[in-house]
Amino acid sequence: MLRSDYVRSVVVALAAGILWALIAASSASWASAEASTAAATVSRVAIVAIAVIVGAALAAALRPTVIAVCTRAEISVDEASLGTKVPVIVSGIVWGVVSAFASLPMSSPPAALVFLALVLPWIAWIDQRVQRIPTSLAYLAAGGTAAMLLLTGVVHGTWGAVGRALLAGPSAGLVFFALAVLLRGGIGLGDARLVVSLAMVLGYVGWTALPAALVFSTLAAFAGVVVVRVLRAIRSQPARSHIALGPYLVLGTALTLVAS
């Protein structure tokens, strides 16, 4: 990425971290006895609404970086449909969900979730369209996730979970890298890079979240293949021999985090 892309990414990450810190600070008051009052409820709804708007705005701010990365990676911008608003909308929704969960007692979503909510929708959308994951975006996701996990450790003091996360990410990435080399198909190197950031978030939750996410991803991929092939058969379109694994890895991770 160019210097301007790095600057934009850092600014977006800082904004995400600041808003997460504000939400984390507010969660203590939400969980208190006064949180049952009407004023607290209005405040909670307002924070969630603001999170949705800010999350969507920050995801939109990343679009120039995504377009630049795809252009340098020789990924057709037209084919990837980077003018779409789908990743922006998904980012806003996820930010709203994370802020809503933060208002619940005994709930403290890691800061990495708000950062990944800005990057992963773009990665999943591109992979679904062209079956490629830009290396720069995968590295951006992994680096931002690690930084946000450290921020979570500073704020909440959950250094044991942070250490587990930083160990789980590279370990899962190495396993997927080995599978990509051995299988020579089905799993790409881009998927292995993407798994690093996903496994770090899952590792923060616990070791059992990793196999659970794999199960959810497999089921989601199977369902996705069935739906896509049925739709292509109805439209008399040729069936693809390969599917993009990235979106299903992201979906499986999301379902695991919700279930946890």
What pLDDT sits at residue 33? Answer: 46
What pLDDT sits at residue 141? Answer: 92
Q: What are the structural domain ranges in the chain?
A: 3-259
**Which of 199, 208, 182 has its CA nearest to residue 260?**
208
Write out pLDDT tens, residues 3-24.
677 777 878 888 888 877 777 7
What pLDDT sits at residue 91? Answer: 93
What pLDDT sits at residue 197? Answer: 95
Which regions in the chain score pLDDT beneath 50?
A: 33
187, 214 Cβ separation under 8 angstroms: no
**Sign of the torsion formed by the C-alpha atoms of 256, 112, 97 and 70:** negative
The vertex-202 CA angle with 198 and 206, nearest 5°, equals: 160
Cα Rg of the chain (Å, integer): 19
What pLDDT sits at residue 139? Answer: 92
Q: What is the dihedral of CA 231, 233, 235, 240, to 10 degrees?
A: 80
What pLDDT sits at residue 3? Answer: 67
